[in-house]
């Protein structure tokens, strides 16, 4: 499985630690090409990770910014991305298994052990498979492509 990861300056330190662990665990991991500095902008990282996830079948994305909210909003502007800002393992599970998330966003000030617990749940969780969840995810996909006509 390929993982794409990106962060603004507020998540750069956590990202480095996460990348070290994921590399040791044998994941194929790709960082953004953008450099971190005090003036960087989270949307740029979100767009790059989102575009890469879309181009690589079965890939997942991990985004980190100050609180995870802004970067998740930006990521959701990339067609085909369903990014959830997650706070805990239950959020990570439901984001992927119930809502079809292919990217998660976390806060840059999370402790490393908590961030890894969340990421490991997200990676290991199976995608949505129950009909009720698939129905909802498919509505989102249809709406995004202009094919939703149930309103």
Catalytic residues: 65, 98
The helix-helix angle for 12-24 and 112-124 (nearest 10°) equals: 50
Q: For tokens 């998660």, what's the residue?
A: 104
* Residue 49 · residue 25 · CB < 8 Å: no
User: Which positions ≥6 away from 144 have C-beta within 8 Å?
Assistant: 79, 80
User: Which positions ≥6 away from 124 have C-beta within 8 Å?
Assistant: none
Separation between Cα atoms, residue 24 and residue 148, nearest integer Å: 43
Question: What does the longest C-alpha to C-alpha distance in the chain come to?
Answer: 48
Query: Can you say how many angstroms the Cα of residue 127 is from the centroid of all Cα atoms in its chain?
Result: 14
């Amino acid at each position: 499985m390929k993982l794409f990861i990106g962060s603004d300056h507020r998540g750069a330190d956590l990202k480095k630690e996460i990348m070290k662990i994921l590399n040791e665990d044998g994941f194929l991991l790709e960082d953004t090409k953008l450099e971190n500095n005090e003036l960087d902008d989270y949307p740029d990282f979100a767009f790059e990770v989102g575009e890469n996830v879309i181009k690589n079948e079965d890939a997942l994305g991990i985004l980190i910014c100050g609180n995870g909210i802004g970067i998740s909003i930006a990521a959701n502007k990339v067609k085909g991305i369903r990014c959830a800002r997650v706070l805990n393992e239950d959020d990570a599970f439901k984001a992927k298994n119930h809502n079809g998330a292919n990217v998660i966003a976390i806060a840059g000030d999370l402790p490393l052990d908590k961030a890894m617990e969340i990421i490991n749940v997200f990676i290991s969780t199976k995608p949505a498979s129950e009909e009720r969840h698939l129905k909802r995810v498919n509505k989102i996909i249809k709406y995004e492509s202009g094919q939703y006509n149930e309103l």
